[in-house]
Amino acid sequence: MERGIRVHGGVFDVEQSWREPDLSKLPGFASPENERIVSVMDELLFVFCRPEDRLLTRKAMDPAHRQYLNAIGFSFEVNAFDVEKVFQDRGRHLFRLLDEDPDPRLSAFLPAGATFEPFAAVDELASVCRRFGLNASAPPMDIVRRVNTKTYSAEMRERLGLPNIATVVRSSDQLLAVGRKVLENGAILLKDDFGVSGRGNLRVDSADTLERVAAYVAQQESRGKRTRFVMEPYLDRIGDFSCQLHIDEHGETRILSVQRLANAEFAYQQSVTPDPAFIERLRGERYFDAMHRLAAELHRDGYYGHVCVDSMLLRGGELVPIVEINARKSMSLIKHQVDAKVQDDRIQGSMRYYSLNLSDPNLAFEDVLAELEKRQVLYDPRRNGGAIPLTANTLAINRNPEQPYRGRLYVYIAASGPDQRERCDERIREVFESLSMRLVN
C-alpha cells in the first residue's frame, strides 16, 4: 500500500460546529478557560503521525515537549508558529482559521498532494483542502451530522433489535409530560442531541428540577428555537467502556481496541486497557457481533471512517452495547495509539488527565519534565513503565501573570498493573505539589 504524507489536525469540540444553531439547549455552565484548553488539545494528535507526516496545531507545540516525544520514539513534523495569533475565549476553530484567514507560512508547511486526516470531519474540510492542494476522504456533512446525534444512537438500538429505553422529546411540553411519568420510577437523564463529554447531559432527580428545565427550554422556544433532546431513565451503571473501530469506504470494518473508562459526571476522565477476562466476557455476550452489525448499518447510511461506541455495564449484570455513537476519532483511540508505540506485553496502559490550578506564571514545561525525571517517573523505554506527558499547551494556554489560572495535563501511564499505576499516579501528584500546582479533579 502506498504511504504518502499525511497531515493531522482537528477540532476537539467538533460537536459544537455540527450542532444546528436553532436548537434549544439544556442549562449548563460555559467556562472560557476550559474552552481555551480544548482548543489546543489538537497537540494530542501527534500519536497518529509517522515520521514523514505533518502535525498541524493551532498553537505551536512546546519545544521541550516535542524534544521529549522525539527522544522516546515519536517522530513527526509540526508547525513552529501559532496558526492563531491571539487566542480568544470563543475563537474560530482551526479549520475556520485555515479557510478564512490562513497564515502565509502554511503553504510551505502543508505539502500539496498530502492527505488531510482530521480528528473529525467539519464543513470547512473540503474548502481547506482545495486552498492548500490537499486530499481528504470524508462522507457528506449531512451524514456526519446525522450519525453523531443522540437520536441516531437511540434509533440504532431499535434497528439492531437491542433494548431501547430512550424517548426523543421535541418540545418543552413533551419534555414535562414524559418526564413526569419517567420520574415516577426514578431519576431522568436528559441528553442534548449534540452533547459530549460532560456537556449537554443533565440528570434530573425531582419534579421541581424538571419544571425549571422545561421552563428554561420554553423560553428558548418562545424565541424561535427548536427542541430535540433524548430522555432516558437514569441507569445504575457500575462501569463504562468503549469500542474503537474503523469502516472503510467499501464497508470493511476493523475493530481496533476496547478500553475500560473512568468517567465523572458523564465527562471523560481515564482510559485503561481491559484485562483478558473482560474481553472474553464481551466475546461470550456477542458484543463484537453487535459492533459489526452497527458498522454495517452506519455504512448503509453512507458513513465511513473512525467510530467510537460508548457502552456500559449495569449493577444487575446487564451489558448495554450502545450508549452513544461517536463517528470520529476519540480519546480512547489516542490511548490505543500510544499502546501500540509502547509495544510491551508487560504493560497495561492507561491515559488520564489532571485538571490543575497554577499560580506560577513563569513555570516552564521543561520544569515539569525535569521534576518528573528527578522522581524517576518520566517514561523512558529503558525503564519498566512511567508517565508520558501527552500535552503541554493545555497546561499553559490560560497563563496569567496576575492571578492563578486553570490548566490541564494529559498523561499516559505505562504500568505493569493497578499497583504500579497507583504508585506512578502518586508520584505525579507529588510533582504537582512540588511545583505549586493544585490538583482539582
pLDDT, residue 85, reads 66
Compute the average pLDDT of residues 46-67: 96
DSSP, collapsed to helix, strand or coil, labels residue 88 as coil
- Among 233, 256, 275, identify where a domain stops: 233
pLDDT of 106-116, one tens digit each? 999 999 999 99
Whether 177 is covered by a domain: the verdict is yes
What's the structural domain count of the chain?
A: 4
Helices (H), 30-149: 32-39, 63-71, 94-100, 106-109, 125-132, 141-147
Q: How confident is the model at residue 96 (pLDDT cuts 50, 70, 90)?
A: confident
Q: Is the pLDDT of residue 266 over 60?
A: no
pLDDT of 370-379, one tens digit each? 999 999 999 9
* CB proximity list for 262: less than 8 A, separation 6 or greater: 240, 269, 270, 272, 352
Compute the average pLDDT of residues 311-320: 94
**Same-domain status, 69 and 92:** yes
Range of the domain at 313: 236-327
Compute the average pLDDT of residues 10-27: 92
Task: Give 427-434's long-range contacts (Cβ < 8 A, gap of 24+).
Answer: 427/375, 427/376, 427/377, 427/387, 428/354, 428/372, 428/377, 428/387, 430/375, 431/368, 431/371, 431/372, 431/375, 431/377, 432/354, 432/356, 434/371
**Same-domain status, 247 and 223:** no
* pTM, full prediction: 0.94
Compute the average pLDDT of residues 379-390: 90
Whether 137 is covered by a domain: the verdict is yes
Q: What does the DSSP 8-state code read for residue 409?
A: E
**Same-domain status, 394 and 429:** yes
Q: Among all chains, which residue has been given the C-alpha cell 508558529?
A: 81
CA distances from 343 to 330, 352, 380 (A): 20, 19, 13
**Same-domain status, 369 and 381:** yes
Confirm if 227 and 150 have CB atoms less than 8 A apart.
no
Q: Is the pLDDT of residue 91 over 70?
A: no
Furthest CA-CA distance within the chain: 63
Q: Is the pLDDT of residue 87 over 60?
A: no
**Same-domain status, 16 and 136:** yes
pLDDT, residue 2, reads 46
pLDDT of 156-213, one tens digit each? 999 999 999 999 999 999 999 999 999 999 999 999 999 875 568 999 999 999 999 9
**Same-domain status, 297 and 347:** no
User: What is the residue-averaged pLDDT of the chain?
Assistant: 92
